[in-house]
Amino acid sequence: MLLLTGATGFIGGAILQALPSNKVKVLGRSRPENGSSIFVASEIKTGIDYSHALVDVNVIIHSAARAHIMNDTAEEPLEAFREVNSLGTLNLACQAAKAGVSRFIFISTVKVNGERTEKDKPFRFNNPSMPEDAYGISKSEAEFGLRALSKQTGMEVVIIRSPLVYGPGVKANFAAMMKLASKNLPLPLGAIHNKRSLVALDNLVDLIVTCIDHPKAANETFLVSDDQDVSTTELLNKMTVAAGKKPWLIPVPMKLIQLGAAVLGKKAVADRLCGNLQVDISHTKEVLGWTPPIMLEQGLARCFQKKES
């Protein structure tokens, strides 16, 4: 039996759809729309007893988390992230090890590695952790604790770090870019020569499912992407095509965009548009014999197909 957390979320919901319902328990605050799996009402935090949920479970996929929040209103953001992502995760994992769970799959984030890379110098799976925000720190602390727990108990731990995940139902910045692509407005973003790694939801889920029983996944850290890095300009062009429009981007030099954004107090926005964030998934492919099943263009097309249907 497999236990899934975060099944009502963007990633967790897609994982649930990929799994046979008769072999899955779902642990969460609310029952997912796909109610055919066994549901256990609970949440991820300290002080909760999960013994009733762990009966007959041999693998856990832990996708529940306090998500990265752009404008966090918590008085102590780091402590709020820690309560769920670090301490709550380790509370579940410690009880899982005692209950005899054989493998714990932790859905982490590339923010554990850091916020940016130099162009064509991607993060690797064994680079030191250098998180910069509360979300990344909390995930890094969870990874550290899970590795220590694995050494103490023998429970296998699999850590999967993803960059930005996109797919049907995606929200936040990527959804805003989809709206821009659909409107096909003339934008001064036609000469951005950065490189960023993304991962289609289908590709991430496929890797997670692969790690459920792959013998070589035990106690490994995997980076994941579409293995198809793109610039912001390339991404917007591909999104516009996926939306059924002809790309129309004006080639304004990247330095001018950054300067203008700084003057307007939007430096962080320019950093996201113009900066590099790449991951090297060669370790993932070599260890697991895995390759992303769909390409970027297919993933983008699915975003718009779902949106329009």
Reported as half-sphere exposure (CB side, CA atoms, 13 A), residue 283 has a value of 17
Tell me which residue has tokens 């965009």: 257
Strands 38-41, 59-62: pairing is unpaired
Q: CA–CA separation, 207 vs 211, rounded Å?
A: 6
Q: Please list the pLDDT of the chain residue by residue as tens digits (309 residues).
A: 999 999 989 999 999 999 988 899 999 988 888 666 889 889 999 999 999 999 999 999 999 999 866 555 666 788 999 999 999 999 999 999 999 999 999 999 999 999 999 988 999 999 999 999 999 999 999 999 999 999 999 999 999 999 999 999 898 888 988 998 898 888 888 998 999 999 999 999 999 999 999 999 999 999 999 999 999 999 999 999 999 998 889 998 888 888 887 887 877 777 778 889 999 999 999 999 999 999 999 999 999 885 444
Q: CA–CA separation, 97 vs 90, rounded Å?
A: 10
The structural domains of the chain, with segments of one domain joined by +, span 2-162
Report, as residue numbers or ranges, the catalytic residues. 135
Residue closest to 103 by CA, chosen among 152, 154, 28: 154
As a CATH number, domain 2-162 is: 3.40.50.720
Give all strands of the β-sheet with 156-162 in edge-to-edge order.
Answer: 38-41, 24-28, 2-5, 59-62, 103-109, 156-162, 221-223
Beta strands in the chain (DSSP E): 2-5, 24-28, 38-41, 59-62, 103-109, 156-162, 164-166, 198-200, 221-223
Overall pTM > 0.75: yes
